[in-house]
Amino acid sequence: MSAADAFTYEALPMRVVFGAGSSERVAQELDALGLGRVLVLCTPEQTEVAGVISDALGGRSVGVHPGATMHVPVESADAAVEIARERGADACLAVGGGSTTGLGKAVALRHHLPMVAVPTTYAGSEMTPIWGLTQGGTKTTGRDRAVLPRAVVYDPLLTLGLPVGLSVTSGLNAVAHAVEGLWAPDASPITSLMAAEGVRALVAALPGVVAAPHDVDARSQALRGAWLCGAVLGATTMSLHHKLCHVLGGTWDLPHAAVHAVVLPHVLAHNAPAAPAAVAALAPALGLAPGAGGAAPDVAGALWDLASSLGAPTSLAEVGLPADAVDEVVSRVLAAPYANPRPVEAGPLADLLRAALAGNRPVTSAP
């Protein structure tokens, strides 16, 4: 956006508690919110960490419910609320990544139980009013402030065990929120500041996370970046990149964060000529000098190089997209219009997908 552009910015009512060890403060947060007894939600894989938090809550916890799964089936929300009611809980505490936060949101949406979130990945769902629910094989998403967590407790110590591969792809998933926030039709100076700083923090932190996954400083910086990128996702309208990833993930059941990691450099190369302000904001965050003599700084290539150096998948074939899927992706993406700085046309979109399928390194063009 240019300095002359008008904008509207609506702050979301978010209470954020951040810091190593801060998950020990969950009880204080519940007290401050007047929430008496919580059901602790998690995935089956995170029962242990959720159990530690539940035990520390003593009588304020009615127990751990390890019922979170990808894509939030309606039945999982209904089951969680039934258990919460049986045990006399008046809120949920979601301990985990986007799938667990998603379950907490679904319970809040369908049954009006408030939620506190303790995120353990970089997905950023805890910062957004976006919910998703799957019924009869169809995933529906929407926005509703009722699903926003009442408080979010970020404890980098809970991310030390996030596997390196998932840390990288989840971090790049967060970067994708910020990149699309920079060219969003409802971007504002404040969301753009958050986006640039979120990308800078994650780009700086992820090599440290890969080199030393238990480095608390690197983990803190990554989680702080993820918070900012999630806040951008919550405040702006996403474009081609998120639409593409939604179609790819939803239709072929591909891993969420890995798909984001592969697709983002290609969408960045596609949109860059129509989004010079976003390119200019991303260049320093990626350690690039401004382009000289009308050339664009190669933000797409730099992001691809970063992902590749961190060991992230770089091709859609690698994450499971069949070679003959391109035409179907194109028709699904073109079926419903949505925001994007560059018009989305079948030919360039198919080229983008073929390059991403093959794992080619994209290059940024000037406007």
Q: Which residues pair with 91 in a beta bridge?
A: 38
Considering only 71, 87, 354, 361, the residue that binds ligand NAD (CB under 6 A) is: 71
The total number of residues written for the chain in this structure: 367
Answer yes or no whether residue 178 interacts with ligand NAD by CB under 6 A: no
The residue from 66, 73, 124, 181 that contacts ligand NAD (CB under 6 A) is 124
171 binds ligand NAD (CB under 6 A): no
Nearest residue relative to ligand NAD (C-beta)? 98
How would you write 197-230 as a 3-class SS string? HHHHHHHHHHHHHHHCCCCHHHHHHHHHHHHHHH
Q: Which amino acid is at 89?
A: A
Choices 116-124, 188-196, 270-278, 284-292 (CB under 6 A): range interacting with ligand NAD: 116-124
Which of 256, 270 has the CB closer to ligand NAD? 256
Residue from 22, 121, 192, 221 binding ligand NAD (CB under 6 A): 121
Going by C-alpha positions, the residue among 77, 74, 79, 52 that lies closest to residue 64 is 52
Place of tokens 């379950």: 103
Residues 256-315 that bind ligand NAD (CB under 6 A): 256-257
Q: Which of 21, 88, 142, 161 binds ligand NAD (CB under 6 A)?
A: 161
Answer yes or no whether residue 167 interacts with ligand NAD by CB under 6 A. no
Applying CB under 6 A, the site for ligand NAD has a residue count of: 28
Q: How far apart are CA 113 and CA 98, in angstroms?
A: 18
Amino acid at 345: E
**Contact region for ligand NAD (CB under 6 A) — 31-39, 117-125, 285-293, 301-309?**
117-125
> Could you tell me the two tokens for 123?
């997905």
> What DSSP line would sit under 228-281, residue for residue?
HHHHHHHHS---HHHHHHHHHHHHH---HHHHHHHHHHHHHHHHGGG-HHHHHH
Q: Which of 16, 70, 216, 277 binds ligand NAD (CB under 6 A)?
A: 70
With CB under 6 A as the contact rule, which of the stretches 56-64, 79-87, 95-103, 337-345 interacts with ligand NAD?
95-103
* Cβ atoms 152, 17 nearer than 8 A: yes
Residue 145: which of 195, 101, 105 has the closest Cα? 105
Binding site for ligand NAD (CB under 6 A): 43, 45-46, 70-71, 96-100, 102, 120-121, 123-125, 128, 130, 132, 158-159, 161-162, 166, 170, 233, 256-257
